[in-house]
Amino acid sequence: MEAIGSSMVKHNPIQFSVVREDPEIERKVILSSGAKEVLLIASGGCTALSLQAYFPHLKFTLVDPNRAQIQLIQEKMNALKEFSSAEKKASFNVGNNSPSGLNEGGNFESLFRSFRNFITEFILNPEELKDLLTQPSHASHVRTVLFEHRYWKVAFDLFFHHNFLEAMFGPEAVQHAPRGSYPEYFRKVIEQGLEKEDMSKNYFIHHLFLGHYINQESCLPYYLTVPTPEYHFEFINNTIDKVENFHSFDLVNLSNIFDWMDEDKIKNLANRLNLEMKPGARLLTRQLNNQKDFMQYFPNFELLREESAALLASDRSLFYSQINCAVKVG
């Protein structure tokens, strides 16, 4: 038997084809703070693309150490500028779940593809699942059809297992969560999203369970519903701590990178943000499956508790246990 060459072994450098974060959170913070210059974690680019469409004159700096993520965003920018309406929809997985689509090609998307293949194999066929998720349904019906099915919990046990996530993202990505807690965590936050009244319009749910968006304006990310703006993006292909200075930014959005960093690195980054960010600037962070108090490292910031709670309550992305918005005061 001929040995399989290393060149044939799969290696996908793109971790995230989409950003599983609700850009409405950033939009609200920009509106409330009057931010003009914004720093974002690049990831799949969805947040930046929607925010530029909301705020055509704002400047965005996108940071990511993974060159493949930046190249993906640049490919998305070109597609939005150059493609026809029909070509855009096909390329951005509107109505199709092609793995070669711009929003379906990352490793995390592969995980969800495996997850939903299990669901359509053992719980509901694809058409029934689509009908359940795109038609207004009473929460009790969703609970009966999905949550009470004997394979529902198994799906999360299999595809959100600690070892699977660690193999995909590395041990640093799961270091702050209790070991073995991810299946129950993801099951609970996804169930909460599925029980909400607006579930049938939630494009995060559609993308997760169907692998594509529904071709209705109310069910699409904002950047796919409006004319393409001029992009004022600056890319930094490096880790966040290599940003030269944070003083110029009115909003620094760190996504959930603290979930990926050990506490010494968090302290070092926090020290710089405490020193370099200007008074009145906003800091926005998310946390997934941990309740650690990372704000303890930010003595020069005031946590806006009511605003943070309201942002979390409005979040459509389903994933996060904390959203913290703080203002620089010292």
The answer to whether the beta carbons of residues 205 and 195 sit under 8 Å apart is no
Count Cα atoms within 13 angstroms, Cβ side, for 95. Answer: 9
Co-location of 251 and 285 in the same domain: yes
Co-location of 230 and 207 in the same domain: no
Within a domain: residue 201?
A: yes
Which of residues 189, 212, 235 is at a domain's end? 212
Could you give the CA distance from residue 283 to residue 129 in angstroms, rounded to a whole number? 39
Could you give the CA distance from residue 315 to residue 177 in angstroms, rounded to a whole number? 21
DSSP string across 196-227: STTGGG-HHHHHHHHSSB-SSGGGS-GGGTS-
Per the structure, how many domains does the chain have?
Answer: 2
Q: What is the mean pLDDT of residues 223-244?
A: 98
Query: Residue 319 is encoded by which pair of tokens?
Result: 């994933």
Within a domain: residue 94?
A: no
The answer to whether the beta carbons of residues 220 and 248 sit under 8 Å apart is no
Could you give the CA distance from residue 168 to residue 184 in angstroms, rounded to a whole number? 19
Over residues 186-202, the pLDDT tens digits come to: 999 999 999 999 999 99
What average pLDDT does the chain have?
Answer: 96
Q: Which range of residues forms the domain containing residue 26?
A: 15-82+223-328
Q: Sorting pLDDT into bands at 50, 70 and 90, what band is 330?
A: confident
Phi, psi of 183 (to 5 degrees): -55, -50
Over residues 293-314, the pLDDT tens digits come to: 999 999 999 999 999 999 999 9
Does pLDDT of 1 surpass 70?
no
**Radius of gyration in angstroms for the set of CA atoms belonging to the chain, rounded to a whole number:** 20
